[in-house]
Structure 1
Amino acid sequence: MSTNNLEGIVELHVHSAPDIRERAYSDLELSDAARSVGAKAVVIKSHHGTTMNRAFLVNEYNRKVYNEKKFTMYGGIVLNYAVGGLNPVAVETALKLGAKIVWLPTIHADNQLEKLGKSGGIVCVKNNEPVEKLKEILALVKKYDVTLATGHLSADDIFVVARHAKNMGINKIVINHPEFWVVGLSTQQQAALVREYDVYLERCYAQPMGGGKYKSNLEDNYNLVNELGPDNIIINTDGGQVENPHWEVAFQQSIDYLADKGISPEDIYKMTRTNPAKALGIN
């Protein structure tokens, strides 16, 4: 087994408590875990609102208790119904409060609800163009120079949003877990997004298959890295579920698997430190 420590990693996608769903760690417990492995930064995500306010409190606690700044927690806003969906006021408020990522709809995206046989989801694209509220939000993403993440949009909608965002001059675009069955981007489509719009592909540890079961993505992640190279790939976990290993264990397993398959330390460093730091806009 190859050994790769987690010193300096940047993780853009962990779910922690408080949450409607049971999570493996609270925000403070997640911070302790991240600090224990030497992580540089972790972004906490909630399908039900904002997390930059929670991250602020964790950072204040760490500053007062540990008096050091080696680790930073960040947050953002997810544009589901809990914040009014495509709500520019909520977005700008979050950005003024320090949000670093604007996630497009996830559990309330029209794509996800339709694939679950439901209706009433949030529509981001009509007639091959972002809807007007989304255009307003993209303008805010550009104004505040933060990261745009595509959430659970469909493959077709992701291409539309990526094209429009890139044409606006938004350069920090992350395609969330493109292999997730709800998103359903093929390897060819992922390669096309990289080629045409220079996006980052977020490849995660595991994806939900329903009924509390998770499918390992380790082999799929390796195959994509082997095919596309490391320059536009981010290795993250989408961790926090009680059904999966703890976030830091999942991260370790992910990079150990890649190393065992022959991916170089330099490429692993790029996908776990350099690329996510650039995508987040941190040094």
Structure 2
Amino acid sequence: MTTEADPALVQSLMQGAIDLHCHSGPSVMARALNHEQALEQAAEAGMRAVLFKDHYYPTGPFVDVLKESGKATQAEPVGSIVLNNAVGGINPFAVEPALKCGAKVVWMPTVSAANHIREGHRKSLLPTKGKMLKQVGLSAVDARGDLLDNVKQVLDIIAEHDAVLSCGHLHISEVWPLFDEAKKRGVNRLLVNHPSYTVGATLSDIKELVGMGAWIEHSICMFIANRMKVYDDAFLKQMIEAAGVDRTFFGSDLGQTNAPLPVEGFRQIIGLCLSLGYSEDDVRKMVSTNAAQLAGIGANQS
């Protein structure tokens, strides 16, 4: 049984927290708050930065609007691009302007990933508010398992901008050649999000990924009490131990309707990690400084 965390300690650990996986709107998917509201709530809680992620459009322009309107003074907004069909797939011509316009993270396909589509064959993964065109399945590799040329072009652009490469919802079998080639081409910031969900990484895979220099992000929504919870506390601890505290961090993966708001998700995961026996320093790494180091945010970059 978990014990209730000291609210003052939780609030202390919220100071400087970073969410690199916020699903605020506008979106074709049902959202509980918009980007401006997400940033305001994060700032009020003492958080340092919020990355806006949408499966259908680059969010960098919203970062520029928030900064130009003076609404980004307490918490930093961060943009991203997800390489789904909506932006032409794994498209270097979409990645380049995104990275020149507020984006720090490039996600490989999610809803358009062939792996994601197979996973959702019998259940609705990430439904939209209304009916939309069926996604065309995308992969990073060809039928022989070799990395596609357009993927290599994207990697070169990511390396040039020193941005973060996330594997998105590609299968772990695609992640190995992707990250191998990324390292060869000078990409220094490698991210695996929710490794056991859709990606299909095992605990031994997680250890190997960290050995390659990758960071492991866990989705808060999958571990706290809500309609999207899929894993128990014991499994969370196993995954943290597999990667190590120094290479693990949390993103909310929240913003959906009928779910905790991103800030509340962070409060709950802090309490959960404390109840699992992690120290204040460990928790601060997993909600703040590790994400800062990965994304190159502020003075915590090293």
The alignment's TM-score, normalised by the length of structure 1, stands at: 0.91
Name the structure 1 match of 2:295. Answer: 280
Counterpart CA distance in 2 for 1:30 and 1:119 is 28
User: In the TM superposition, what is the alpha-carbon distance from 1:216 to its structure 2 partner?
Assistant: 4.5
Aligned position for 1:173 = 190
Corresponding position of 2:149: 132
Does residue 70 (structure 1) correspond to residue 87 (structure 2)? The answer is no
Contact 1:31/1:58 (CA < 8 Å) preserved in 2? no
1:18 to 12, 20, 26: 26
**What's the CA shift string for 1:247-282, capped at 9, x where partnerless?**
111111111111111101111111111110111112
Q: CA deviation at 1:69?
A: 2.7
Match of 1:90 in 2: 94
Paired residue for 1:27? Answer: 35
SS in 1 for 2:252: coil
- Separation in 2 of the partners of 1:40 and 1:104? 25
What secondary structure, in the 3-state scheme, does the structure 2 residue paired with 1:125 have? coil
Q: Secondary structure at the match of 1:215?
A: coil
Give the superposition deviation at 1:119.
Answer: 7.8
- How many residues align? The count is 274
Which of 225, 233, 237 does residue 240 from structure 2 map onto? 225
Aligned CA RMSD, in angstroms, stands at: 1.9
| Residue 218 (structure 1) shift | 5.7
Name the aligned partner's letter for residue 229 of structure 2: K
Deviation at 1:29, TM superposition (A): 1.0
Q: Are 2:229 and 1:215 aligned? A: yes
1:149 equivalent in structure 2: 166
In structure 2, distance between residues paired with 1:276 and 1:104: 19
Once residues 213 and 187 of structure 1 are traced to their aligned partners in structure 2, the CA distance between those partners, rounded to angstroms, is: 25
CA distance in 2, matches of 1:263, 1:47: 33
Using the size of structure 2 for normalisation, the TM-score is 0.86
Q: Name the CA distance, whole Å, in 2 between partners of 1:281 and 1:226.
A: 24
Q: What letter matches 2:69 in structure 1?
A: Y
Is the aligned partner of 1:187 residue 2:203? yes
* Local SS of the residue matching 2:191: strand
From the superposition, tell whether residues 54 and 216 of structure 1 become closer, same or farther in structure 2 (CA, over 3 Å).
same
Task: Tell me the distance in 2 between the aligned counterparts of 1:215 and 1:81.
Answer: 28
**In structure 2, what residue type is equivalent to 1:183?**
V
CA distance in 1, matches of 2:205, 2:111: 22
Look up the match of 1:106.
110
Q: List gaps (5 residues or longer) in structure 1.
A: none
Indicate the percent of aligned positions where both proteins have the same amino acid.
31
> Of the candidates 2, 10, 23, which is equivalent to residue 4 of structure 1?
10
1:61 equivalent in alignment to 2:69? yes
Q: What's 1:240 paired with?
A: 255
Q: How far apart are residue 167 of structure 1 and its match? A: 2.2
